[in-house]
Amino acid sequence: MPFANINGISVNYQIKGSGPALLMFAPGGWRSVMSRWTAAGGKEAWKEMDGIETLSKHFTTIAYDRRESGLSGGRIEPLSWDLYVKEAKAMLDLAGFESAYILGCCMGASLATAFATRHPSACKGLLLHWPVGGFLWQRKGTTFFQRHIDFVKAHGMQAVIDRAPKGENFWMDPEIGPWGSPSAHYPDFAKTLLEMDTDEYISICEQSRDNIFTDTMPCGAGGDELMGIQTPSLIMSGADTRHTRSASWALKELIPNSTLWSVFPPDQTGENTLEQVLNFKAQLENH
């Protein structure tokens, strides 16, 4: 798969299929990688339908490993929704499209709403699958950051670098931190991480935590921002402690032109999820 230099970071991406653009923000928290859409690496509906392969029959799919995830690189700086949105917009530009349907799953749904608030003219429609939100989601994120900070204080940066190849990513092994994945893949990045001043690094971690996990609302966009989204939106709720029904209901209540699918897990399947996506597309294109 090709790589592109996006805002100075090497990003692993794939463009596949034909038809209207579908910009895809993968699920998985800090393992937001293209394989999460596939039969081999996906879960639930995307695994059943083989998301990229199937959706590429109806769209030009634009998928990528988000920065600091998978084979994409990273940069040690305070992470924020603005940085993630800049990366996403650059991917859309790289693909040669001015606008796209936006599909975000899990934490990717938060990025989708953040993208819509900053680039409304680039959004044909929002497909928000299993949005995250709620107290337990916020606590998971803040706790994972704290586990990493405590590990750095106790063992130092060399221990993070040594552990990173075994931990794979921040979401599977919080002690390696949000920059564990690129440090495992790229020796030059690991060297930069090792040379960081510890206090400065911890401050960057704390800023990143506070930028991403702002409150118990669905993250990515605040209440006023969500109320300002005019893009037609389809919300497909999860039903667990991270992909909460309450997060999906909050989005439905706040996004004016939104519909909440009345089917919840475990009754969602690859087949009926695909049907929802294609019906949403047809309604907008025939409007």
Query: Average pLDDT for consecutive 10-residue bins of the chain (287 residues)?
Result: 93 97 95 95 93 97 97 97 98 98 97 98 98 94 97 97 91 95 95 96 98 89 95 97 94 97 96 98 90
Give me the torsion for CA of 86, 88, 89, 92, rounded to 10°: 160
Strand-by-strand arrangement of the 60-64 sheet = 3-6, 9-17, 60-64, 21-25, 100-105, 123-129, 233-236, 258-260
The answer to whether 127 and 235 are in contact (CB under 8 A) is: no
Q: Is the pTM of this model over 0.85?
A: yes
How many C-alpha atoms does 245 have within 13 Å on its Cβ side?
Answer: 7
Q: How far apart are CA 131 and CA 25, in angstroms?
A: 12
> Measured in whole angstroms, how far is the alpha carbon of residue 97 from the centre of its chain?
20
- What is the CATH class of 3-134+217-285? alpha beta
Query: Where exactly are the structural domains of the chain?
Result: 3-134+217-285, 140-212
Single-letter residue type at 279: N
130-134-136 Cα angle (round to 5)? 100
Return d(Cα 227, Cα 271) in angstroms, integer: 31
The three-class DSSP label of residue 177 is: coil
pLDDT score of 167: 83
